[in-house]
Structure 1
Amino acid sequence: MQTEPGPESRGAQPAAPAELWSGAWAAERLGITLTTTAAPVGLGLEDLVGVAVRRNPRRAQLLVSRVLGKHVPVHPLRVLGTGMRLGGLVRALGVGEAVVLGYAETATGLGHSVADALGAPILHSTRRPVLGVAPVGGFEEEHSHATSHLLLPDLPLLEDDRTLVLVDDEFSTGTTLLNTIRTLHSLHPRSRYVIAALVDLRSPDDVARMDAVAAELGVTIEAVALASGRVELPDGVLEAGQALVAELDTPPDAAPPDAAPPGARDGVVTRLDVHWPANVREGGRHGFTPHDPAFDAAVEEAGTVLAEALPEGAVHVLGTEELIYAPLRIAGAFAARRGDAVTFSTTSRTPVLAVDEPGYAIRTALTFPAHDAPADGPGPRFAYNLRPGAYDAVVVVVDEPADTPELFSAGGLVDRLRGVTDRVVVVTLPAYAPTPAVPAPNSADDAPVAQPQHLPAPLRGPAFGSYPAEDVAWLLKDLSDAELEAPTEEREEAIQAGRAHYAESLPVEYQPDAAYQALFAEALTESADRLAYAVGLVTEQVLALRGRETVLVSLARAGTPVGVLMRRWARAVHGLDVPHYAISIVRGRGIDEVALAYLAAHHDPDTVMFVDGWTGKGAITRELAASVEKANARLLGGGAPGGTFSADLAVLADPGRCVEVFGTREDYLIPSACLNSTVSGLVSRTVLNDELIGPGDFHGAKFYADLAEADVSRRFVDTVAARFAAVRTSVLSDLPGRLAALRGGEHRPTWDGWRVVEEVSASYGIGEVNLVKPGVGETTRVLLRRVPWKVLVNPERAGELAHVRVLAEQRGVPLEEVPGLPYSCIGLIHPRFTRGAVLADGRGTGA
């Protein structure tokens, strides 16, 4: 059995020492044994992979490929040759006309090389959505650190009966492959599938399961690999692996973000234009035709530019996550001009324990935040085995969507590479994106968008908002530099006159005096237990309905503190890291469809639960139902791979009786209603202004960083969360009854609040239900940012409304006691602009 692959069609592959990256150190400590059972090209498992320890509670070991160019620096021609050799095994099956599907992120480059060997087109899966490009399918990779895969072709690759060749770096159980085959076969049946990997580790039961699926579907499924065998794991290996991590690992977030590795340099960073044409595809995310001469020419030109720009010496070319094939080919072209001094690898999502020991497969690790707006937040991401001082230059190749400020930030990838080498060169390739075949969300009509657009990235603290980054991802556009505030009376007049929509501008932020702030603090202290109980009860209902994969989507901004608290409850009580996003919905305009497109691309829509603070009369509840139904039709057509969005809304308080999932139906003060941005992450209410929000943008909002000294956002959620332990027993004991009532239909909406509002509107001659704001929360908002006329108060609840009295006095608004009022209070917006009044310019303003 030879140690290294021999020459292949792209040239000789320089050998590496046999012991390098072997993984013997980890295998010995965990008791792992690799046994080769088949070696069709003369390579055993130990020639192809080493063993490392994952930072993953589901798997102890990671088999680190020594030939893939992912975690281990390898000569690029060796990587390309290995893929061609695997393609040769597929070709030997007599596949004829074929199309190749490579798996993101690891096997995108490998899939390309197999496709090269077959002269076949390729599509690779992706975890990056593209606005307006509807997925033709998706599937999950259960064992992976990042699981969701999308298929976004704009070429007709999957519609016919050509043999589909699925390429991955390894087969462990074959589950991901079966998920894919089932999904694609349901969309476009075909008669033959071939699966190809560097190593095949399936058990006999796994092989039998795949045969059973083939029989069930009436298809042929064949498998090839450079080596087959088994990984023998002793009992307790998972615990042993976790113990090794606990003993030896420094968590990625334990060191300061700008920390450099030992022996750090202070490398110079430069950009280099390699003249890549904008119309040449850089990869197979949307499909790639075989032997594209324009691509080959672009690769050769890039290799020439690198050779002319870089001095002699050791150079490492670093691809980034899914972007493997183009950087690999560029590295190959460069190596053809420079020889063996060139190596290649890419960044990774997979967290692995790094141990600087001979014979271990992962010797060093650079940790940095993600820089291409991933679904799972800002990171961390990793670059392995780049030893400081080993390279005279490192060339990092990214595509345009990944060329972001995060790439160059303190602690970002480029910054970390400066500690490895004296020279960091950044090469950015244009990212091919097809013209969307469906209208972009938020567009004014149903016409297709003319230009390709990518989904924007979420915003996170501390760059936007005062919540920690893990608490919420804001699906909003930052409008902090825009002048949007208008005097309250002027703004109210324009809104009621129909000259402006309330979401086109912002009210001036109310800044409370010391006495009012003291009322907030008192209300928070007195209500913390009651709020914690409501948070727990509503969160438990959501988890019962949506399961452990729940995704919380709060309606910014009143819903966002509640979403933060619900996420914290799920973590404190169940150990779940529930994703939480904040999204905009605008009365009369609907929900932000670009944000929904982002969610659909990153999560199963069936797992989403919308969250708000409270209900009033139910206007937003109705808006949510209508706009989500419309968005499902526009964005998802017949549905995403997991389903469509449900307009279910979970709230802390539902005095309007217009939702089924709630903490309470009492109308009491939720202290976050007392203030504006200073209790909601320093974020303004959302903005939908055509001058600032384009068809492919999220709705907007401002970050009031200048109000940081007055911010109590964290104080609010920290105070309530501190009471979770005290109310946990009560919540869990009351939960069965609440769930039984929910499932039995006892909590169906009655819309009592809407009827009350209609009666009040008629009784006071207002004639417009949107000017009647029932409930403590809505009344408070009227007093804070509208032109209030009067406040109706239930005398039996007057003792709980101290903050309402203070605000009313400050605004000169009379309080009117109404015995038997179904709410604690109702705020009435001044109707003077809706009664046929005439402005100075002579235009009528009657409704």
Structure 2
Amino acid sequence: MPQAPERHRLSLPTGELELDIHDSQFALDDVMGFAARANAKRGFLFLSKVLGKHWPVTPGMMRKVHASLADTVPELPGPVVFIAMAETAIGLGQGVFEAWLAAHPGREGLFLHTSRYRVGAAPIIEFEEAHSHAPRQFLHMPPNAHTRELLLSAKALVLVDDEASTGNTFLNLTDACRKLNPGIAHVHLATITNFMGAMATAALSERFGLPVTMGAPVSGEYRFTPGQLASASAPAQLFDASADRGASGEFGRYGLHRALTLPDGLAERLAGDVKPGERVLVLGTGEFMHPSYLLGAALERLGVNVVVQSTTRSPILTWGAVTAALTFPDNYGEGVANFLYNVTPGQYEHVFICHETAPKQALLDLADTLKARLFHFKTETHVEEVS
């Protein structure tokens, strides 16, 4: 007999959430919590505890999740293109891609992540994340000829996000990619949680118009009855196509065929400043997430007590899995509010902030608030500490 689902019912400040868990490879509390969003389109948030975004997580746990999702990818015709969804799942997607590469030596793959910033003069493909507070997303056409050819000749897509609830964003991105490359023959969706429900998941291939597989260590379905939905006090996206926001093409927007590396010397130097028992936070900024994970992983290998997290543009209420919130200007200069959740000044003995943008006043002020050190990643091997 099928097992009865694990049921959760929560009263949020923004409505009533019911969640049935049908299958889970992890204890639910280890991988996610519940939060309320300041978003009139969707008042709830399945807050992941393993992304390194809204919740502090050890690099070891992140690596375990990366490998778990990479294992869900079936044998696919190549080239295989992995695309991670901005902003929340950029680090997750890059970690899954690198875990897949390690498990498939010799296979050709490409990693890209979507963005809400334009880099250089590369053409962009736009699609919509309709329920988001910042709905416009972009995929850059790689300027490198070989990288562009991989995208345009790909036979399979692996789309990575932290959760699937409707599948609409995945469908919108798939349609945009198939207009560029009609030869795409298979789509695999890799998410930590799949809350679309069994019927909607089974109908994905028909809905997308090509074979679609789904890999998620946690699956179930939800129902949300809206109450008084909160509205963010300021816009979360003010896109200007002509503006240079300091975003880089080095780390995934223009495409990568290999795993990123990190200078071992940086981790060794920082570990030398950490005394036994001291706690360390490695903090990514906005869409710049994966290098902070790599630095955290390098510190962890050296025996440092370290967790990883990131700033975000997502407005979330202080409730449930969000116990603390800091608000500050964004370091990309877009003029939107940014946030850091579940971190308070003085909580960690050491905070290392990793950023791709030039050290503007917003970063300097955040570093001052957290008594942090700033590290400007100009490339993966050229990292400058900001004095």
- Seen in structure 2, the aligned counterparts of structure 1 residues 387 and 252 have a Cα distance that, compared at 3 Å, is farther
What's the CA shift for 1:407? 2.1
C-alpha separation in 2, matches of 1:197 and 1:86: 7
- Seen in structure 2, the aligned counterparts of structure 1 residues 26 and 49 have a Cα distance that, compared at 3 Å, is farther
- Seen in structure 2, the aligned counterparts of structure 1 residues 29 and 143 have a Cα distance that, compared at 3 Å, is closer
What's the CA shift for 1:45? 4.3
Q: 2:121 is matched with which residue: 132, 150, 159?
A: 132
C-alpha separation in 2, matches of 1:369 and 1:62: 23
Higher Cα Rg, which structure: 1
- Conserved? CA contact 2:69–2:216, under 8 Å: yes
Please give the secondary structure, in 2, of the residue aligned with 1:338: coil
Deviations 1:234-265 (A, max 9, x none): x3x332x54xx9xxx9x799xxxxxxxxxxxx
| 2:190 matches 1:192 | no
The 5 A counterparts of 1:336-735 are: 336-339=301-304, 341-355=305-319, 360-374=320-334, 378-399=335-356, 401-408=357-364, 412-417=365-370, 423-430=371-378
AA aligned opposite 1:228:
S
- Conserved? CA contact 2:55–2:309, under 8 Å: yes
Partner of 1:109: 91
Please give the secondary structure, in 2, of the residue aligned with 1:117: helix
What's the CA shift for 1:361? 0.5
Partner of 1:141: 129
What's the CA shift for 1:299? 4.1
Please give the secondary structure, in 2, of the residue aligned with 1:32: strand
Partner of 2:4: none
Partner of 1:316: 281
- Conserved? CA contact 1:372–1:403, under 8 Å: no
Structure 1 unaligned regions, length at least 5: 1-22, 254-279, 418-422, 433-847
AA aligned opposite 1:192:
H
Partner of 1:35: 20
- Conserved? CA contact 2:280–2:348, under 8 Å: yes
| 2:304 matches 1:304 | no
- Seen in structure 2, the aligned counterparts of structure 1 residues 86 and 310 have a Cα distance that, compared at 3 Å, is same
- Conserved? CA contact 2:12–2:36, under 8 Å: no
Structure 2 unaligned regions, length at least 5: 1-7, 102-108, 236-247, 381-387
| 2:81 matches 1:99 | yes
C-alpha separation in 2, matches of 1:72 and 1:282: 26
C-alpha separation in 2, matches of 1:99 and 1:211: 18
C-alpha separation in 1, matches of 2:34 and 2:97: 28
AA aligned opposite 1:382:
F
- Conserved? CA contact 2:91–2:289, under 8 Å: yes
Percent of paired sites with the same residue? 29
Greater percentage in strand: 2
Greater percentage in helix: 1
Q: 1:202 is matched with which residue: 193, 196, 200?
A: 196
| 2:253 matches 1:285 | yes
- Conserved? CA contact 2:14–2:43, under 8 Å: no
Partner of 1:49: 32
| Count of residues in correspondence between the two structures | 346
C-alpha separation in 2, matches of 1:139 and 1:404: 30
What's the CA shift for 1:121? 2.6
Deviations 1:93-116 (A, max 9, x none): 222532211111111111111111
- Seen in structure 2, the aligned counterparts of structure 1 residues 281 and 126 have a Cα distance that, compared at 3 Å, is closer
Please give the secondary structure, in 2, of the residue aligned with 1:373: coil
AA aligned opposite 1:138:
E
Please give the secondary structure, in 1, of the residue aligned with 2:333: coil
- Seen in structure 2, the aligned counterparts of structure 1 residues 35 and 47 have a Cα distance that, compared at 3 Å, is farther
What is the RMSD of the two structures over their aligned residues, measured on CA atoms? 2.7
AA aligned opposite 1:175:
N
Q: 1:228 is matched with which residue: 192, 209, 219?
A: 219
- Conserved? CA contact 1:197–1:225, under 8 Å: yes
Please give the secondary structure, in 2, of the residue aligned with 1:37: strand
Please give the secondary structure, in 2, of the residue aligned with 1:322: coil
- Seen in structure 2, the aligned counterparts of structure 1 residues 25 and 73 have a Cα distance that, compared at 3 Å, is farther
C-alpha separation in 1, matches of 2:378 and 2:29: 38
Deviations 1:284-338 (A, max 9, x none): 11111223xxx42x34232112112444411101001111111111111011113
Q: 2:176 is matched with which residue: 171, 176, 183?
A: 183
Q: 2:139 is matched with which residue: 138, 146, 151?
A: 151
Please give the secondary structure, in 1, of the residue aligned with 2:312: coil
What's the CA shift for 1:128? 1.5
Deviations 1:62-96 (A, max 9, x none): 11001111100111121122112111111xx2225
- Conserved? CA contact 1:34–1:45, under 8 Å: no
